[in-house]
A and B are shown apart, each in its own frame.
Chain A
Amino acid sequence: MAIWRYNELDLLLTENPIAHNGFFVDTNILVSATYDSDKYYDDSSTFIESLINKSIPLYCNINIRAEFLEIHRRILFSEAILDFEKQCTKSLLPLPLVNLLTVFRNKYERRLREKPTETPYKLGESEIKDFKLIMAKIIGKEKDLWTELCEDRIGTKLVDIWDETESALGLNFLSLRKEDQDLHLNQKPEWEGVTELISKHGISSSDAMILNMFLSSKFEVIASSDTDIALTIKRLGLQQKHCISPDELKTQI
């Protein structure tokens, strides 16, 4: 079986004792376990606590760190901009910014109304860029609005959050150094593996890089709350590669 539910952890470990050596963890499970508005927050945080209680080491790579920071950056900006929309006097703002704020508020509220159990809507990269372009032109005596928003909400705080997550979970980094290769990798991950995953399964390049590292590794299990990762593992149908996910996600795929 390639896909397991979180609540099948004990069975997975009994049938695959090598998995005690370590789990590869995907970005989305780290985000869902640290973001209390995520639909999988309770499931993922409880699951990670049970891995820690069983003294199972967790492994990731630099792609996962980059993605973690990226997703949390989008969450922080989305919530800061929603607060701004709620509190700022609209008549003081340029019309294009009022329009952008209204569109975002409507999308956010619609998601809450139509899918109340889902993770709240967050801004995409291109939407953040639209806000940045306008907010950078709103200039006070000392600095512009975008710079202030960045310093107020992001600053070095986000990097601190990653450092604390890494320390709390005892995250181990897989690199391409010889020691890591000998210990944890069956083969050096090659770029061709990434392009093959993208072309055959239509997944994003960041997911493909994470999956390619996992497939090249000696680890048997990846923990993920990402549909794309779980579905690709299922489609690959490899004997010794498993994905463990929230119960609901397994039902979806």
Chain B
Amino acid sequence: MSNQKPKLGKKNALKEVTKKLTALRKKPLSKKVFEIVQENYERNQTNKKVAKDLEA
């Protein structure tokens, strides 16, 4: 290490990193996110209905 020269940055490469990071931030949420919400809701509704039927 002591014989090595320090690394230097690459011109204009920072902009590319920012561009990639911004693309990741702006990426639309996956369809799966909304499917999970729907599946969870439907299961809860079914459970509620079963519980209500049992009470009756």
Contact = CB atoms under 8 A, between A and B. Distances in A.
B37 A33 contact: no
Interface in B1-56: 1-2, 6-18, 20-22, 24-25, 27-30, 32-41, 43
A36 to B, nearest CB: 6
A170 B10 contact: yes
Interface stretch (A137-145, A194-202, A234-242): A137-145
A132 B24 CA distance: 21
B1 A179 contact: yes
A250 to B, nearest CB: 23
A176 B9 CA distance: 23
A22 B39 CA distance: 55
The main secondary structure of chain A at its interface with chain B is helix
A148 B20 contact: no
B9 A51 contact: yes
The main secondary structure of chain B at its interface with chain A is helix
B20 A161 contact: yes
A75 B38 CA distance: 26
Contacts of A157: 24
Interface residues of A, number: 54
Interface in A172-217: 172, 177, 179-180, 182-183
Nearest to A168: B13
A165 B48 CA distance: 50
Interface in A89-130: 89, 92-93
A57 B40 CA distance: 52
Given A139-B36, A148-B36, A177 B1 contact: yes
A164 B34 contact: no
Interface of B: 1-2, 6-18, 20-22, 24-25, 27-30, 32-41, 43
Interface of A: 22, 33-36, 41, 45, 48-49, 51-53, 55, 57-59, 72, 75-76, 79-80, 83-84, 87-89, 92-93, 138-141, 143-145, 148-149, 152-153, 157, 161, 164-165, 167-172, 177, 179-180, 182-183
- Counting from the closest, the 9 A-B pairs by CB-CB distance are A140-B36, A168-B13, A52-B9, A57-B6, A170-B7, A179-B1, A140-B39, A170-B9, A92-B41
Given A36-B18, A177-B1, 13 more contacts: A34-B14, A34-B18, A45-B14, A49-B14, A52-B10, A57-B7, A76-B25, A87-B34, A138-B40, A140-B36, A140-B39, A161-B21, A168-B10
